[in-house]
Amino acid sequence: MVSRPPLPALVSSLLLVLLSPPAHSQPAAAPHSRTSEPPAELPLPQAFRQRIQDRAAIDAYQNRHHRVAPGVIPTPIRRFIPRVQADRYVQVVRPDVPPHIASARQQQTRGQRPSPAFIAPILDRTDNLDTPDSFPSPTSAQASATEWVHRYLASDGILPTLVHAVRLLGPATLTSNPATALDQLRMAGLPVDLLDHFDPPASPANTPASLALVTQIADQLTKGSDPATLARQLARTPFAFQPTHTSFQAAPETGEHPVGLLRMQAGGGWSDGVVPGDAIHAIAQMVNAFPDARFLVSVPAEVAEPFESLARTTWRLRRDTQLILCVDATHPGAWAQDNAKAGALLDSSGNPATLASLAPRYASQGEGHSLFEPGASYAMDGLAAAGHPVLQSPLLFQGGNFLVVHDPCSGDRLLVAGEGEILRNTALGLTPAQVREAFRIEFGVDRCLTLPSVSYHLDFDVSFRAHADDLVALVNDIPAAVRIILGLGIDALQRHGTLSPADAVIAHAERRQGHDLPLLDCLTAAVDRTRKAGQPFSASLSRHFVTSTTDDAAANLQAFLLALDLLEAEQDAPSARTTTHSDRPPYLAALRRMIAAHRSQLEDLHDLGCRIVPIPSLPDLHRGINYLNGIHHADGFAMPAFGGFYTPLDRAAQEAIESAFGAEVPVTPILTAACQRQHGGVHCLAAAYPRMDSRPDLIAPSDTRPSRVAP
């Protein structure tokens, strides 16, 4: 390797911007936790609420008791192979956003919880300066209506809530000025745009359903109708969702297509060099792994020039406009999967004609609520400036919690949704049945199925591939991953001197033979001897969990500690460590519920008719290691990998995947350890679009879209 020419601007700029926390991470007060107690007014099923609380409890316990003193961290990559490449290989585009709007966007902060009426002001809404907190209530009537919407929209539904909002705002006031009626309701927090997806009886021709509903309700209330009775009657109004674009079809993620385009975001990964396994490093690896694909990469404006220089002079580019950089005034974060779903627009014959993206109502993070991610939403304007069609849906979703599946047995196209995406839209006043039907129509699939998630997003729990006549579901094999991690940890403890060679031999034998309680007692006692009560584990211990310059010593030790805890949670009898801390029993109980939810999820996948293939891999835990969060394509599988100390676990996962599919599905490891420590992997980082000349029959749905859902 030779050093490339110095790029001082790259260092200075990227240090300033790319070290900001990515979208999947949290403020320092609660590091790396994406879970919190959901707001009381959002009615969540108890099991879902418990999973949110359990993830928060697991993170909190590990933050307290798995602390490791600062030690070895990954060595930044500072040496590159310089390349001389044609300028035309890279194209840079900038959206034409007026300066005052760009300035307003830059001043917005992440993590605000918007009004249900809020729609991100992007694309053709760019001139709208709405922000999550720009919904004032200047009058007492508006304040009362706002409070009613806030309290009852999710539980009662949008139409019953509309009745009471009209009542509180004053029917006569609304009918006297119909042009402003919808604006007043929107300012009260009602998502009035969704009213146009209902089919009210006796609606005047050429009158939007939203205005017809408001007029009818105001007339009935003025005539003395009882609001509660009217609300019950309106709740029976048929739901007739209209797709944002009638020809949009979400791209299947089950491996039938070669990849034609990868959309990614430069959301982090520079610290005095390229951080191994973080976003920038992952993008470079994907460019090498997919030489025939084009890349559409969103980049913050502050680092656009140095990032372009890095790509032009060090990446292996091969043809014209292989890399298009979309320069954004705000920081888009790293997670391209969440802020828009990949797909295509079909021509009149039903064949894919143009690649396109479907963006949500606004980009968000969170489970019990949907917190606005402004940069992730505003990145859509950069894509549009590059000539990439972007559609903005009225629905809320996080793309990593959806998997678009082609079932080779039935021929159906399925949208498998984590239940959080259904609940996210019941907060807008739709019923679960209406949400599923809306997603079915919007994504152009035959059916929308709900699968309860174990992880924050479904793409850490299951990875589907259509293989021969089977729909194969790769799933986490927690016990297998735990035993491999513990085996590597035994060797590290022996190197540290914590375990004698004789004890290490015994521990390995107990691990192989499944003697879990003696193994737990041996390893936990050895680990506990290395630190004083209340103190972090030492850097001298974590140093023995390092075999490569890509390793993070503390994170590797913490993965080992998690494996110990998971093994203990599997046991019926307590180990000697159970009562070490007063908060340990509830922590183990949370892990046990997670394991039980994983087993229940496997039953759901079996009922779906999947051939289930276990992979040594863990669910999405901050200190876990996951191999399912990858991208299937016709030429193989891009698998997230940890590298370094855990390379043997990488190999075990790779071998399990290749064994399931044979030599025709080679696995390409993509180092993403730093991303995984921020709750992301390959699938989170990249949205994959099919090559346009490949198997159009797998894009087109088998039935027509329009449908009505009776209440």
pLDDT at 24: 46
Q: What is the mean pLDDT of residues 628-653?
A: 98
Q: Are 374 and 108 in contact (CB under 8 A)?
A: yes
The pLDDT value given to residue 131: 67
Per-residue pLDDT, 129: 67
User: Buried b vs exposed e over 557-591: b needs ≥16 C-beta within 10 Å?
Assistant: bbbbbbbbbbbbbbeeeebebeeeeeebeebbebb
Taking residue 709's Cβ as centre, other Cβ atoms within 10 Å add up to: 21
**pLDDT band of 126, cuts 50, 70, 90:** confident
| CA-wise closest residue to 627 among 474, 512, 489 | 474
Pairing assessment for the beta strands 462-467 and 470-477 based on DSSP bridges: antiparallel
Q: How do 667-671 and 462-467 pair as beta strands?
A: unpaired
Which of 545, 157, 171, 129 is CA-nearest to residue 149?
157
pLDDT at position 695 = 53
**What's the average model confidence in pLDDT over 249-268?**
96
- Residue 634 CA to residue 259 CA, distance in Å, equals 8
Record the tokens describing residue 33, joined without a space: 């936790």
Taking the alpha carbons at both ends of the chain, their separation in whole angstroms is 65
Compute the average pLDDT of residues 87-109: 89
- Give 424-465 as a 3 state SS string: HHHCCCCCHHHHHHHHHHHHCCCEEEEECCCCCCHHHCEEEE
The pair of structure tokens assigned to 505 is: 């031999």
| pLDDT at position 572 over 90 | no
Q: What would the mean pLDDT of 375-400 be, rounded to a whole number?
A: 97
Instruction: Give the pLDDT score at 8.
Output: 38
What is the SS3 assignment for 63? helix
Give the tokens for residue 10: 């790259």
- pLDDT digits over 431-440, tens only? 999 999 999 9
Average pLDDT, whole number, for the chain?
Answer: 89
Q: What are the DSSP calls for 161-190, one per residue?
A: HHHHHHHHH-HHHHHH-HHHHHHHHHHTT-
* Average pLDDT value for residue range 612-624: 94
At 124, the pLDDT band (50, 70, 90 cuts) reads: confident
Q: Give the global pTM.
A: 0.91
The amino acid present at 14, given as its one-letter code, is L
Do 625 and 467 touch, CB atoms closer than 8 A?
no
Residue 7 has pLDDT above 50, yes or no: no
Distance CA 29, CA 35 (A): 13
pLDDT at 246: 94
Two structure tokens written together for 560: 């080992």
3-state SS class at 415 = strand
Least confidently predicted of 96-105, 283-292, 483-492: 96-105
Strand 402-406 with 611-616, pairing: unpaired
Q: Does 365 have pLDDT greater than 70?
A: yes
**Using the 8-state DSSP alphabet, how is residue 417 labeled?**
E
Residue 215 · residue 245 · CB < 8 Å = no
Which tens digit of pLDDT belongs to each residue from 8-23? 344 334 433 443 334 4
Q: Is 20 left (phi over 0), alpha (psi -120 to 50) or beta?
A: beta
Q: What is the mean pLDDT of residues 92-99?
A: 92
Per-residue model confidence (pLDDT) at position 137: 61
pLDDT value, residue 27: 31
Q: Residue 469's closest CA among 610, 606, 654, 667?
A: 610
Residue 443 has pLDDT above 80, yes or no: yes
- Provide the token pair at 449: 């199925």
Structure tokens at 697: 């029959």
Phi (first) and psi of residue 33, to 5 degrees: -90, 130
Measured CA to CA, the distance from residue 263 to residue 254 in angstroms comes to 18
Range of lowest pLDDT (84-88, 502-506, 651-655, 706-710): 706-710
pLDDT reported for residue 136: 63
Tokens of 307: 């990032």
pLDDT at 162: 97
DSSP label at 246? T
Contact status, residue 484 vs residue 566, Cβ threshold 8 Å: no
Tokens for 55, please give them: 């993830």
Query: What are the CA-CA distances from residue 520 to residues 485, 511, 525 (Å)?
Result: 13, 9, 8
**pLDDT for residue 135:** 62
pLDDT at 110: 86
The residue type of 264 is: M
pLDDT at residue 268 is higher than 80: yes
Instruction: Give pLDDT tens digits for 33-74.
Output: 344 444 434 568 899 999 999 999 999 999 999 999 999 999
- Tell the residue number behind the tokens 């390797």, with chain if given: 1
- What average pLDDT does the segment 296-300 reach? 97
Confidence of residue 410 (pLDDT cuts 50, 70, 90): very high
